[in-house]
Structure 1
Amino acid sequence: MRTDFVVLYERASRQFCDLVAQVGGDQWRAPTPCSEWDVRTLVDHVVRGNLAVLPVLDGIPLADLGRLDIARPDFDVLGGDPLTAVRHSVDVAVEAFARPGVLDTVVHHPVGDMRGRRLAGLCFNDNLVHSWDLAQAIGVDATLDPALVEAAHAFVEPVAEALPTGYFAPAPQVGADPDRQTQLLALLGRDARAWNRSR
Protein backbone atom coordinates (compact mmCIF):
# COMPACT_ATOMS: atom_id res chain seq x y z
CA MET A 1 0.00 0.00 0.00
CA ARG A 2 1.45 3.36 -1.04
CA THR A 3 1.77 6.19 1.43
CA ASP A 4 -0.54 9.08 0.52
CA PHE A 5 2.00 11.86 0.68
CA VAL A 6 -0.49 14.41 -0.62
CA VAL A 7 -2.70 13.90 2.44
CA LEU A 8 0.34 14.08 4.69
CA TYR A 9 1.57 17.19 2.87
CA GLU A 10 -1.74 18.96 3.40
CA ARG A 11 -1.89 18.01 7.09
CA ALA A 12 1.65 19.23 7.74
CA SER A 13 1.09 22.40 5.71
CA ARG A 14 -2.17 23.30 7.47
CA GLN A 15 -0.38 22.89 10.80
CA PHE A 16 2.33 25.23 9.52
CA CYS A 17 -0.41 27.74 8.70
CA ASP A 18 -1.74 27.43 12.25
CA LEU A 19 1.71 28.31 13.56
CA VAL A 20 2.02 31.31 11.26
CA ALA A 21 -1.25 32.54 12.75
CA GLN A 22 0.49 32.59 16.14
CA VAL A 23 3.46 34.73 15.09
CA GLY A 24 3.46 37.95 17.08
CA GLY A 25 4.02 41.28 15.41
CA ASP A 26 7.45 41.59 17.03
CA GLN A 27 8.54 38.04 16.13
CA TRP A 28 8.98 38.27 12.36
CA ARG A 29 12.69 39.06 12.76
CA ALA A 30 13.26 36.48 15.50
CA PRO A 31 16.00 33.89 14.84
CA THR A 32 15.10 30.32 13.88
CA PRO A 33 16.96 27.00 14.03
CA CYS A 34 17.77 27.63 10.35
CA SER A 35 20.78 29.78 11.18
CA GLU A 36 20.58 32.09 8.16
CA TRP A 37 16.82 32.68 8.38
CA ASP A 38 14.61 34.73 10.64
CA VAL A 39 10.90 33.94 11.00
CA ARG A 40 9.85 35.96 7.97
CA THR A 41 12.53 34.37 5.78
CA LEU A 42 11.46 30.90 6.94
CA VAL A 43 7.81 31.55 6.09
CA ASP A 44 8.90 33.09 2.78
CA HIS A 45 10.82 29.89 1.96
CA VAL A 46 7.80 27.69 2.66
CA VAL A 47 5.49 29.86 0.55
CA ARG A 48 7.92 29.80 -2.39
CA GLY A 49 8.23 26.03 -2.11
CA ASN A 50 4.47 25.58 -2.09
CA LEU A 51 3.98 27.88 -5.07
CA ALA A 52 6.69 26.02 -7.00
CA VAL A 53 4.70 22.78 -6.87
CA LEU A 54 2.42 23.77 -9.74
CA PRO A 55 5.11 24.64 -12.31
CA VAL A 56 7.24 21.66 -11.23
CA LEU A 57 4.32 19.28 -11.72
CA ASP A 58 3.75 20.94 -15.09
CA GLY A 59 7.23 19.74 -16.06
CA ILE A 60 9.10 23.05 -16.10
CA PRO A 61 12.87 22.63 -16.63
CA LEU A 62 15.05 23.67 -13.69
CA ALA A 63 16.60 26.54 -15.65
CA ASP A 64 13.16 27.98 -16.37
CA LEU A 65 12.01 27.42 -12.80
CA GLY A 66 14.85 29.67 -11.69
CA ARG A 67 13.51 32.46 -13.91
CA LEU A 68 10.04 32.56 -12.34
CA ASP A 69 9.08 35.44 -10.06
CA ILE A 70 8.90 33.08 -7.08
CA ALA A 71 12.61 32.30 -7.56
CA ARG A 72 13.65 35.95 -7.41
CA PRO A 73 14.83 37.07 -3.94
CA ASP A 74 13.48 40.58 -4.60
CA PHE A 75 9.97 39.29 -5.36
CA ASP A 76 7.83 39.61 -2.22
CA VAL A 77 5.64 36.51 -1.89
CA LEU A 78 4.34 37.45 1.57
CA GLY A 79 3.27 41.07 1.08
CA GLY A 80 1.55 42.63 4.05
CA ASP A 81 -0.36 39.49 5.01
CA PRO A 82 1.92 36.46 5.43
CA LEU A 83 -0.85 34.26 6.84
CA THR A 84 -3.06 34.74 3.79
CA ALA A 85 -0.03 34.18 1.56
CA VAL A 86 0.90 30.88 3.17
CA ARG A 87 -2.68 29.62 3.18
CA HIS A 88 -3.04 30.50 -0.50
CA SER A 89 0.23 28.76 -1.35
CA VAL A 90 -0.94 25.55 0.34
CA ASP A 91 -4.23 25.68 -1.58
CA VAL A 92 -2.32 26.07 -4.85
CA ALA A 93 -0.10 23.08 -4.12
CA VAL A 94 -2.91 20.82 -2.88
CA GLU A 95 -4.94 21.56 -6.02
CA ALA A 96 -1.90 20.85 -8.19
CA PHE A 97 -1.22 17.51 -6.51
CA ALA A 98 -4.90 16.54 -6.90
CA ARG A 99 -4.83 16.67 -10.71
CA PRO A 100 -5.21 13.26 -12.38
CA GLY A 101 -1.96 11.53 -13.26
CA VAL A 102 0.48 14.02 -11.77
CA LEU A 103 1.72 11.70 -9.03
CA ASP A 104 3.06 9.29 -11.64
CA THR A 105 4.52 12.00 -13.86
CA VAL A 106 8.31 12.47 -13.88
CA VAL A 107 9.24 16.00 -12.81
CA HIS A 108 12.48 17.94 -12.45
CA HIS A 109 13.80 18.89 -9.01
CA PRO A 110 17.17 20.19 -7.72
CA VAL A 111 17.87 16.81 -6.08
CA GLY A 112 17.11 14.98 -9.33
CA ASP A 113 14.24 13.85 -11.52
CA MET A 114 11.46 12.07 -9.67
CA ARG A 115 7.80 11.21 -9.90
CA GLY A 116 5.18 13.58 -8.55
CA ARG A 117 4.49 11.24 -5.65
CA ARG A 118 8.05 11.61 -4.41
CA LEU A 119 7.84 15.38 -4.82
CA ALA A 120 4.81 15.30 -2.51
CA GLY A 121 6.91 13.37 0.01
CA LEU A 122 9.71 15.94 -0.14
CA CYS A 123 7.27 18.82 0.25
CA PHE A 124 5.55 17.09 3.15
CA ASN A 125 8.84 16.53 4.91
CA ASP A 126 9.97 20.11 4.31
CA ASN A 127 6.84 21.71 5.69
CA LEU A 128 6.74 19.36 8.67
CA VAL A 129 10.28 20.11 9.79
CA HIS A 130 9.81 23.83 9.16
CA SER A 131 6.81 23.66 11.49
CA TRP A 132 9.24 22.59 14.20
CA ASP A 133 11.59 25.41 13.23
CA LEU A 134 8.81 27.98 13.41
CA ALA A 135 7.41 26.69 16.69
CA GLN A 136 10.86 26.88 18.26
CA ALA A 137 11.38 30.40 16.93
CA ILE A 138 8.14 31.81 18.34
CA GLY A 139 8.32 29.88 21.62
CA VAL A 140 5.31 27.58 21.37
CA ASP A 141 5.01 23.82 21.79
CA ALA A 142 7.20 22.24 19.11
CA THR A 143 5.87 18.70 19.48
CA LEU A 144 4.98 17.43 16.02
CA ASP A 145 2.09 15.11 15.18
CA PRO A 146 3.52 11.64 15.96
CA ALA A 147 1.86 10.05 12.91
CA LEU A 148 3.43 12.67 10.65
CA VAL A 149 6.79 12.18 12.33
CA GLU A 150 6.66 8.43 11.73
CA ALA A 151 5.77 8.90 8.08
CA ALA A 152 8.50 11.52 7.57
CA HIS A 153 11.13 9.37 9.27
CA ALA A 154 10.19 6.38 7.10
CA PHE A 155 10.54 8.59 4.03
CA VAL A 156 13.79 10.34 4.96
CA GLU A 157 15.83 7.71 6.78
CA PRO A 158 16.56 5.45 3.76
CA VAL A 159 17.69 8.37 1.57
CA ALA A 160 19.25 10.84 4.02
CA GLU A 161 22.84 9.88 3.21
CA ALA A 162 22.18 10.13 -0.53
CA LEU A 163 20.95 13.73 -0.47
CA PRO A 164 23.30 16.31 -1.99
CA THR A 165 25.89 17.85 0.34
CA GLY A 166 24.51 20.98 1.94
CA TYR A 167 20.85 19.99 1.56
CA PHE A 168 20.72 19.62 5.36
CA ALA A 169 23.24 20.38 8.09
CA PRO A 170 25.26 17.38 9.34
CA ALA A 171 23.28 15.12 11.66
CA PRO A 172 24.08 15.88 15.32
CA GLN A 173 24.75 13.22 17.94
CA VAL A 174 21.56 12.84 19.97
CA GLY A 175 22.60 10.22 22.53
CA ALA A 176 21.15 6.83 23.30
CA ASP A 177 17.50 5.96 22.78
CA PRO A 178 16.20 9.22 21.28
CA ASP A 179 12.48 9.46 20.56
CA ARG A 180 11.31 9.37 16.95
CA GLN A 181 10.94 13.14 16.63
CA THR A 182 14.50 13.64 17.86
CA GLN A 183 15.69 11.00 15.37
CA LEU A 184 13.88 12.71 12.50
CA LEU A 185 15.21 16.14 13.42
CA ALA A 186 18.74 14.77 13.66
CA LEU A 187 18.47 13.24 10.18
CA LEU A 188 17.57 16.74 9.00
CA GLY A 189 20.48 18.38 10.79
CA ARG A 190 18.61 19.69 13.81
CA ASP A 191 19.39 19.29 17.50
CA ALA A 192 16.50 20.43 19.69
CA ARG A 193 18.68 20.38 22.80
CA ALA A 194 21.29 22.70 21.31
CA TRP A 195 18.60 25.12 20.12
CA ASN A 196 16.91 25.15 23.51
CA ARG A 197 20.24 25.83 25.26
CA SER A 198 20.79 28.82 23.00
CA ARG A 199 17.47 30.48 23.92
Structure 2
Amino acid sequence: MRVSIVALILPVILSVVSQSAAQEDRRSFGLLDRLPDEDPSCDFVNRSYERTFGGNFAYRLYGVQPAGAFDLLEIRVFIGDFAYDRQGLGRWHLRHRGLRKTVDGIGAVFRHCSNASDSLYGAAPVKVFQVDWARNGYNAKSEVMISTATSKIIKTTRQFVGATPTGFPVMTEIFETKRDRIKAPSDAVDLRNE
Protein backbone atom coordinates (compact mmCIF):
# COMPACT_ATOMS: atom_id res chain seq x y z
CA MET A 1 0.00 0.00 0.00
CA ARG A 2 1.40 3.40 -1.04
CA VAL A 3 1.05 6.38 1.28
CA SER A 4 1.39 9.82 -0.21
CA ILE A 5 4.00 12.22 1.11
CA VAL A 6 1.19 14.68 1.94
CA ALA A 7 -0.49 12.12 4.19
CA LEU A 8 2.79 11.66 6.07
CA ILE A 9 3.70 15.36 6.36
CA LEU A 10 0.26 16.88 7.05
CA PRO A 11 0.06 15.72 10.70
CA VAL A 12 3.51 17.21 11.35
CA ILE A 13 2.51 20.54 9.75
CA LEU A 14 -0.72 20.68 11.74
CA SER A 15 1.20 19.92 14.94
CA VAL A 16 3.66 22.77 14.31
CA VAL A 17 0.84 25.19 13.44
CA SER A 18 -1.11 24.29 16.56
CA GLN A 19 2.02 24.66 18.73
CA SER A 20 2.82 28.12 17.33
CA ALA A 21 -0.70 29.19 18.20
CA ALA A 22 -0.50 27.60 21.65
CA GLN A 23 -1.38 30.82 23.44
CA GLU A 24 -4.36 31.50 21.21
CA ASP A 25 -7.60 30.59 22.94
CA ARG A 26 -9.19 27.65 21.14
CA ARG A 27 -12.49 29.54 21.14
CA SER A 28 -10.98 32.25 18.91
CA PHE A 29 -11.08 29.67 16.12
CA GLY A 30 -14.87 29.33 16.12
CA LEU A 31 -15.45 26.98 19.07
CA LEU A 32 -17.30 29.60 21.06
CA ASP A 33 -18.74 27.89 24.09
CA ARG A 34 -19.56 29.60 27.38
CA LEU A 35 -17.25 28.94 30.31
CA PRO A 36 -18.82 27.94 33.64
CA ASP A 37 -19.64 31.04 35.76
CA GLU A 38 -19.88 33.43 32.79
CA ASP A 39 -22.79 35.87 32.98
CA PRO A 40 -25.19 34.95 30.12
CA SER A 41 -25.99 38.66 29.56
CA CYS A 42 -22.36 39.07 28.49
CA ASP A 43 -22.18 36.40 25.77
CA PHE A 44 -21.46 38.87 22.96
CA VAL A 45 -18.85 40.75 25.04
CA ASN A 46 -17.16 37.50 26.15
CA ARG A 47 -16.99 36.09 22.62
CA SER A 48 -15.60 39.43 21.39
CA TYR A 49 -13.02 39.37 24.17
CA GLU A 50 -11.94 35.88 23.07
CA ARG A 51 -11.71 36.91 19.42
CA THR A 52 -9.58 39.90 20.40
CA PHE A 53 -7.34 38.30 23.04
CA GLY A 54 -7.09 34.97 21.19
CA GLY A 55 -5.26 36.41 18.20
CA ASN A 56 -2.50 38.87 17.43
CA PHE A 57 -3.30 42.35 18.72
CA ALA A 58 -1.90 45.42 20.44
CA TYR A 59 -3.27 48.00 22.79
CA ARG A 60 -2.36 51.29 24.41
CA LEU A 61 -3.44 51.87 27.99
CA TYR A 62 -4.08 55.44 29.10
CA GLY A 63 -4.84 57.00 32.46
CA VAL A 64 -7.51 59.68 32.08
CA GLN A 65 -6.92 62.95 33.94
CA PRO A 66 -9.90 64.66 35.63
CA ALA A 67 -9.89 67.32 32.87
CA GLY A 68 -9.99 64.57 30.21
CA ALA A 69 -6.33 64.52 29.08
CA PHE A 70 -4.80 61.10 28.41
CA ASP A 71 -1.50 59.92 29.95
CA LEU A 72 0.10 56.96 28.16
CA LEU A 73 0.74 54.28 30.79
CA GLU A 74 1.58 51.18 28.79
CA ILE A 75 1.76 49.66 25.32
CA ARG A 76 1.40 45.91 24.79
CA VAL A 77 1.82 43.84 21.63
CA PHE A 78 0.80 40.15 21.44
CA ILE A 79 2.10 38.02 18.57
CA GLY A 80 1.81 34.24 18.70
CA ASP A 81 3.43 32.98 21.91
CA PHE A 82 5.10 36.31 22.66
CA ALA A 83 4.07 39.43 24.58
CA TYR A 84 5.91 42.73 24.30
CA ASP A 85 5.31 45.57 26.72
CA ARG A 86 6.68 48.92 27.69
CA GLN A 87 5.73 51.39 30.38
CA GLY A 88 5.06 54.82 28.90
CA LEU A 89 7.82 55.49 26.41
CA GLY A 90 10.39 53.28 28.19
CA ARG A 91 12.22 50.17 26.96
CA TRP A 92 10.38 47.29 25.32
CA HIS A 93 10.34 43.93 27.11
CA LEU A 94 9.72 40.48 25.63
CA ARG A 95 7.85 37.95 27.78
CA HIS A 96 5.97 34.69 27.38
CA ARG A 97 2.34 35.30 26.54
CA GLY A 98 -0.18 34.22 29.15
CA LEU A 99 -3.74 33.14 28.45
CA ARG A 100 -6.46 35.44 29.81
CA LYS A 101 -9.93 34.08 30.24
CA THR A 102 -13.38 35.54 30.71
CA VAL A 103 -13.56 33.91 34.16
CA ASP A 104 -10.91 34.30 36.86
CA GLY A 105 -10.57 32.99 40.41
CA ILE A 106 -13.54 34.99 41.73
CA GLY A 107 -15.93 34.44 38.83
CA ALA A 108 -16.95 36.22 35.66
CA VAL A 109 -14.80 39.13 34.52
CA PHE A 110 -17.75 40.76 32.70
CA ARG A 111 -21.14 41.01 34.44
CA HIS A 112 -24.48 42.71 33.89
CA CYS A 113 -23.84 43.61 30.23
CA SER A 114 -26.29 45.79 28.36
CA ASN A 115 -26.09 47.02 24.77
CA ALA A 116 -26.18 50.78 25.30
CA SER A 117 -26.08 51.83 21.66
CA ASP A 118 -25.05 51.16 18.09
CA SER A 119 -22.91 54.05 16.91
CA LEU A 120 -19.65 55.02 15.19
CA TYR A 121 -16.09 55.12 16.51
CA GLY A 122 -14.44 57.32 13.92
CA ALA A 123 -15.82 55.79 10.71
CA ALA A 124 -16.18 52.29 12.18
CA PRO A 125 -19.64 51.04 13.19
CA VAL A 126 -19.56 49.75 16.78
CA LYS A 127 -21.77 48.22 19.43
CA VAL A 128 -21.32 49.91 22.79
CA PHE A 129 -21.90 47.87 25.95
CA GLN A 130 -22.12 49.01 29.56
CA VAL A 131 -20.67 46.29 31.82
CA ASP A 132 -19.48 45.62 35.34
CA TRP A 133 -15.84 44.49 35.16
CA ALA A 134 -13.84 42.66 37.86
CA ARG A 135 -10.36 41.11 37.82
CA ASN A 136 -7.58 40.61 40.39
CA GLY A 137 -9.59 42.34 43.13
CA TYR A 138 -10.34 45.47 41.08
CA ASN A 139 -13.86 46.51 40.06
CA ALA A 140 -15.02 49.04 37.50
CA LYS A 141 -18.03 50.29 35.60
CA SER A 142 -16.94 49.88 32.01
CA GLU A 143 -17.87 50.84 28.50
CA VAL A 144 -16.80 48.34 25.83
CA MET A 145 -16.81 49.26 22.12
CA ILE A 146 -16.93 46.31 19.75
CA SER A 147 -16.50 46.55 15.98
CA THR A 148 -19.58 45.29 14.16
CA ALA A 149 -17.36 44.29 11.20
CA THR A 150 -14.94 42.05 13.13
CA SER A 151 -16.72 41.45 16.47
CA LYS A 152 -13.45 42.43 18.18
CA ILE A 153 -13.01 44.96 20.96
CA ILE A 154 -11.60 48.28 19.79
CA LYS A 155 -11.87 50.40 22.94
CA THR A 156 -12.66 50.06 26.63
CA THR A 157 -13.07 52.70 29.32
CA ARG A 158 -13.10 51.70 32.99
CA GLN A 159 -14.24 53.86 35.89
CA PHE A 160 -12.87 52.09 38.96
CA VAL A 161 -14.91 51.59 42.09
CA GLY A 162 -12.52 51.70 45.04
CA ALA A 163 -8.89 50.70 44.43
CA THR A 164 -7.26 51.20 41.03
CA PRO A 165 -4.14 49.39 39.70
CA THR A 166 -2.50 52.59 38.42
CA GLY A 167 -3.70 55.44 40.61
CA PHE A 168 -5.99 56.69 37.83
CA PRO A 169 -9.69 56.25 38.65
CA VAL A 170 -10.45 56.16 34.89
CA MET A 171 -8.44 54.20 32.33
CA THR A 172 -8.91 53.68 28.58
CA GLU A 173 -7.53 50.93 26.33
CA ILE A 174 -7.40 51.44 22.56
CA PHE A 175 -6.88 48.23 20.56
CA GLU A 176 -5.33 47.43 17.20
CA THR A 177 -6.38 44.08 15.74
CA LYS A 178 -5.40 44.41 12.07
CA ARG A 179 -2.53 41.96 11.70
CA ASP A 180 -0.65 44.04 9.12
CA ARG A 181 -0.37 46.88 11.67
CA ILE A 182 0.93 44.72 14.51
CA LYS A 183 4.74 44.57 14.57
CA ALA A 184 7.17 43.07 17.07
CA PRO A 185 9.60 45.64 18.46
CA SER A 186 13.13 44.80 17.30
CA ASP A 187 14.89 46.19 20.39
CA ALA A 188 12.98 44.37 23.18
CA VAL A 189 14.88 43.17 26.24
CA ASP A 190 14.26 39.42 26.50
CA LEU A 191 12.80 38.60 29.94
CA ARG A 192 11.43 35.14 29.09
CA ASN A 193 13.93 33.32 31.31
CA GLU A 194 13.62 35.57 34.35
**TM-score interval, smaller chain:** under 0.3
Q: Could you state the TM-score of these two structures normalised by the residue count of structure 2?
A: 0.25
Indicate the structure (1 or 2) with the bigger Cα radius of gyration: 2
Higher helix residue share:
1
Kindly indicate whether structure 1 or structure 2 has the higher relative contact order, using CA contacts under 8 Å at least 6 residues apart: 1
Kindly indicate which of the two structures has a greater share of residues assigned to strand. 2
